[in-house]
């Protein structure tokens, strides 16, 4: 087979692959009669992955993690069943923050645990901050698993600027009006107009009838469904919205996540002072699925020197591919389009031609090699 035919076949294969996975490939080889083989660029983004593998965790205030001094814990439903002890000096009895993110592999459940509410009526407050030092975009629901009852009151917050400022993501309470002066809502109550509204939900905080429920959700896919349909069958509609609505893109983007625990589970009753060792927080798992935010300019993201970094394409650079490379600033940087080609565009950075004095002249060969004739 002649080399020209081979090249055409390769171009066809590459273009078909790009069409099948529009965000996994940043470019494909095409062939035209006038210019011959060339690269055609596409918007792209990395695959989604389990983000808990790459985070750093911080629990505050100091001393809120159990074990120093050692302490015994009793079951919320049966205060006479005191089956657990926490002792930070004993690895078999310690419950440090890292156990929220370990792989249990069918072994015993491991979990982070707070101190008991022994200082009641002083509030039992704990902040759990998860940091990536990188912008990430959520792709699935956040799921937090509690081992001692889901908290009566809590707030999920996020930061877009590495923890310098915070904004509420969702409120959780047994009684939203009493806790936050907010009307209780569900994501299914939202519409395309109110899709980015921060709500308070009572779905994950009630005790009666939900004693055995452990998981608390922040609904990401349900918010996607507001635009893409119940089964997410019309993702093109969601991508179209995200292309034109920066607020929608930012809503699912974060650099840090903070779990603010305000009041532990109390079994649906008033706090009983003689059983304060039954009130505490325990989290066994936090699932966060997402992808590196690369502004549609990278199809891979790697963990290097303790940080996530986009492998930037389209002549872009930076941790999020958020600017053009040196000498590629012929037009202003822009993120790639979520819409597939040809409706959308990669918005590649373009080469900037050097500026010479009037007495000099410039010729360009193949748009890549620059020959200069300098002034004499």
3-class secondary-structure state, position 53: helix
Element (H, E) at 253: strand 253-263
Contact in structure between 260 and 154 (CB atoms under 8 Å): yes
- Condensed to tens digits (0 to 9), the pLDDT of residues 270-300 reads 999 999 999 999 999 999 999 999 999 999 9
Backbone angles phi, psi at 328, to 5 degrees: -125, 50
Over 60: is that where the pLDDT of 364 sits?
no
Provide the β-strand partners of residue 286: 144
Over 90: is that where the pLDDT of 136 sits?
yes
Q: For residue 251, what pLDDT is reported? A: 97
Q: For residue 141, what pLDDT is reported? A: 97
**Sign of the four-CA dihedral 86, 88, 89, 94:** positive
Q: How far is the C-alpha of 327 from the C-alpha of 324, rounded, in Å?
A: 8
Over 70: is that where the pLDDT of 150 sits?
yes
- DSSP at 48: P
Contact in structure between 263 and 123 (CB atoms under 8 Å): yes
- Condensed to tens digits (0 to 9), the pLDDT of residues 26-82 reads 877 777 666 678 777 888 999 999 999 999 999 999 999 999 999 999 988 888 888
Contact in structure between 260 and 158 (CB atoms under 8 Å): no
In the chain, the domains with their CATH numbers are 49-292 (2.60.120.260)
Element (H, E) at 281: none
- Indicate the pLDDT class of residue 158, thresholds 50, 70 and 90: very high
Q: For residue 207, what pLDDT is reported? A: 87
**Sign of the four-CA dihedral 155, 217, 203, 187:** positive
Average pLDDT over residues 80-99: 93
- Condensed to tens digits (0 to 9), the pLDDT of residues 217-237 reads 999 999 999 999 989 999 889
- Describe the chain by its helix, strand, coil percentages, rounded to 5: 15, 30, 55
Which one has a higher pLDDT value, 84 or 149?
A: 149
Backbone angles phi, psi at 144, to 5 degrees: -115, 125
Provide the β-strand partners of residue 13: none
Element (H, E) at 366: none
For 85, 106, 148, 353, the CA distances from 152, given in Å and listed in that order, are: 23, 29, 11, 62
Q: For residue 355, what pLDDT is reported? A: 63
Backbone angles phi, psi at 241, to 5 degrees: -65, -45
**C-alpha dihedral, 55 to 168 to 142 to 311, nearest 10°:** -50
Q: How far is the C-alpha of 241 from the C-alpha of 247, rounded, in Å?
A: 10
Element (H, E) at 85: strand 84-86
Over 70: is that where the pLDDT of 180 sits?
yes
Across the chain, what does the average pLDDT equal?
86
Q: For residue 17, what pLDDT is reported? A: 39
CA nearest to 143, candidates 180, 196, 100, 183: 100
Q: For residue 6, what pLDDT is reported? A: 43
């Amino acid at each position: 087979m002649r080399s020209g035919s081979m090249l055409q076949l390769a171009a066809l294969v590459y273009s078909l692959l790009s069409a099948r996975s529009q965000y996994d490939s940043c470019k494909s080889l095409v062939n035209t009669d006038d210019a011959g083989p060339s690269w055609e660029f596409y918007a792209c983004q990395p695959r989604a992955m389990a983000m808990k593998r790459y985070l750093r965790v911080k629990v505050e205030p100091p001393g809120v993690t159990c074990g120093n001094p050692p302490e015994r814990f009793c079951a919320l439903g049966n205060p006479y069943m005191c089956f657990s002890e926490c002792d930070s000096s004993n690895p078999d009895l310690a419950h440090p923050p890292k156990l929220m993110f370990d792989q249990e592999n069918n072994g015993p459940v491991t979990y982070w645990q707070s101190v008991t509410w022994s200082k009641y009526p002083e509030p039992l407050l704990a902040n759990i901050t998860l940091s990536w030092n990188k912008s990430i975009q959520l792709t699935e629901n956040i799921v937090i698993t509690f081992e001692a009852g889901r908290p009566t009151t809590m707030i999920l917050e996020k930061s877009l600027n590495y923890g310098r400022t915070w904004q509420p993501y969702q409120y959780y309470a047994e009684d939203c009006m009493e806790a936050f002066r907010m009307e209780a809502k569900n994501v299914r109550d939202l519409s395309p107009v109110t899709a980015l509204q921060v709500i308070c939900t009572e779905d994950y905080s009630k005790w009666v009838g939900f004693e055995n429920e452990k998981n608390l959700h922040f609904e990401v896919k349900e918010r996607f469904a507001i635009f893409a349909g119940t089964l997410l069958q019309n993702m093109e509609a969601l991508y179209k919205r995200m292309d034109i609505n920066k607020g929608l893109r930012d809503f699912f983007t974060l650099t840090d996540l903070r779990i603010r625990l305000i009041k532990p589970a109390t079994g649906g009753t008033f706090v009983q002072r003689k059983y304060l060792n039954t009130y505490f927080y325990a989290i066994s798992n936090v699932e966060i699925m997402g992808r590196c935010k690369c502004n549609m300019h990278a199809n891979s993201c790697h963990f290097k020197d303790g940080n996530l970094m986009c492998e930037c394409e389209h002549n872009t650079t930076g941790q999020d591919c958020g600017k053009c490379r040196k000498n590629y600033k012929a037009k202003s940087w822009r993120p790639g389009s979520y819409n597939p080609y040809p409706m959308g565009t990669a918005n590649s950075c373009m080469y900037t031609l050097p500026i010479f004095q009037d007495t000099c002249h410039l010729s360009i060969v193949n748009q890549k090699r620059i020959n200069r004739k300098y002034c004499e």
